[in-house]
Amino acid sequence: MTTFRAEAPAKINLALAITGRRHDGYHLLRSVFLRLELHDLLEVEVDAEVAHDSLSIDGDLALSDDNLVLRTAAGLRESIDPSLPALRFRLVKRIPVAAGLGGGSSDAAAALDLALQAWGVRLHPAERLDAALRLGADVPFFAAGHGASLVEGVGERLLPLPDLEPPAGLVLITPQERLPTADVFAELDRHPSVGSSAAGSVDEAAALLRESIDGMTLAATTAMLRDANDLWGPASRLSGELAAARDTAATILGRAVMLTGSGPTLFAVYPSEAAATRAAITLQTERPAELEGAAIMTTSTIGRGENS
């Protein structure tokens, strides 16, 4: 029996602007995404002996969004051929859940490709990206395989940006308290603002990457992106500890600390992963009360994947 495998990478939002809302309630965004080396692992095999798809999980078992793997397989089967055999998935979970790192969306993008491989089915690229969009706003980015991208609309418009070469290192700080994306957007809607305070920062971040910069240059310029996320306000209102965690981390690290996505993961950018690792050791050694229980990880940006 053939086993198909794929890595499902995390992402950060280098800058994120909420630019409006559609009539169906979906929020419109404009954001710069960077793909990370941190990844989940997903495997699949055809399981013709059973009637239903299955998913086993190693790692973080408190999952709310990884049924996207099964929903992906079920939706594809329905649209292609309901008689296609059942699939058995195994997920090794390394990306923190409900953390603003896109783990569930990335798992869905990987499941889409693995299901097609296992069934021996090929989709036209436009059909494949359309299937990805139906799964969630972040899924097309992962399905496209871009290392960096300007993402617009509800995630369906992707403009590839140059990769960071050499890559940047990152310290990721994920507080224990989870922030469901839906709750953060609901809080945003309860306190609407006129326009986006982060829109200009998205343009600045995209312009930086178009200059084909490296990790060192990005690390030296991220102070201007400290508040480049329109979801910071609602996320910090929902989590009373988030602002203190960011301020404390920034003081210890001596550099800007930012929020990715709807949070609660915070990140700081470094010239290399080695530099990020040294900084993470400092955080773990000092471990102030404001970061008690937080997961502290290091990773780096990565370039284009096979689908770009």
Distance CA 147, CA 11 (A): 9
Q: Backbone phi, then psi, for 160, in 5-degree steps?
A: -60, 140
11 is known as an active-site residue: yes
Distance CA 146, CA 129 (A): 13
For residue 301, the one-letter residue type is: T
Write out the two tokens for 235: 């996320």
Contact of 101 with 172, CB cutoff 8 Å: yes
For residue 283, the one-letter residue type is: L
Write out the two tokens for 197: 């305070």
Segment holding 8, helix H or strand E: strand 4-21
Alpha-carbon separation of residue 276 from 21, 97, 208, 235, 279 (angstroms): 37, 22, 21, 25, 5
Three-state secondary structure call for residue 201: helix
Domain at 169-300, CATH homologous superfamily: GHMP kinase, C-terminal domain (3.30.70.890)
Predicted pLDDT of residue 23:
85
230 is known as an active-site residue: no
Predicted pLDDT of residue 5:
97
How many other C-beta atoms lie within 10 A of the C-beta of residue 301?
26
Contact of 106 with 11, CB cutoff 8 Å: yes
Q: In whole angstroms, what separates CA 219 from the centre of its chain? A: 20
Q: Of 53, 113, 138, 163, which residue is the catalytic one? A: 138
Distance CA 282, CA 268 (A): 13
Contact of 19 with 44, CB cutoff 8 Å: no
Predicted pLDDT of residue 60:
58
Segment holding 259, helix H or strand E: strand 258-259
DSSP state at residue 96: P
Predicted pLDDT of residue 67:
80
Going from the first residue of the chain to its last (308 residues), give the mean pLDDT of each consecutive group of 10, the final group possibly shorter: 95 96 89 98 94 86 66 94 96 92 95 97 90 91 96 94 96 92 92 83 95 94 92 94 96 97 97 97 93 96 73
244: alpha, beta or left, given left = phi > 0 and alpha = psi -120 to 50?
alpha
Contact of 35 with 163, CB cutoff 8 Å: no
Q: Of 11, 66, 93, 230, which residue is the catalytic one? A: 11
Predicted pLDDT of residue 65:
45
Contact of 197 with 230, CB cutoff 8 Å: yes
Give percent helix, percent strand, percent coil of the chain, each to the nearest 5.
40, 25, 35
Distance linking the first and last C-alpha atoms of the chain: 29
Domain coordinates in residue numbering, the chain:
4-160, 169-300
Instruction: Report the predicted TM-score, pTM, of the whole model to 2 decimal places.
Output: 0.93
Distance CA 60, CA 29 (A): 29
What CATH number does the domain located at 4-160 have? 3.30.230.10
For residue 24, the one-letter residue type is: D
Distance CA 59, CA 106 (A): 16
Contacts of 293 (CB under 8 A, 6+ apart): 175, 176
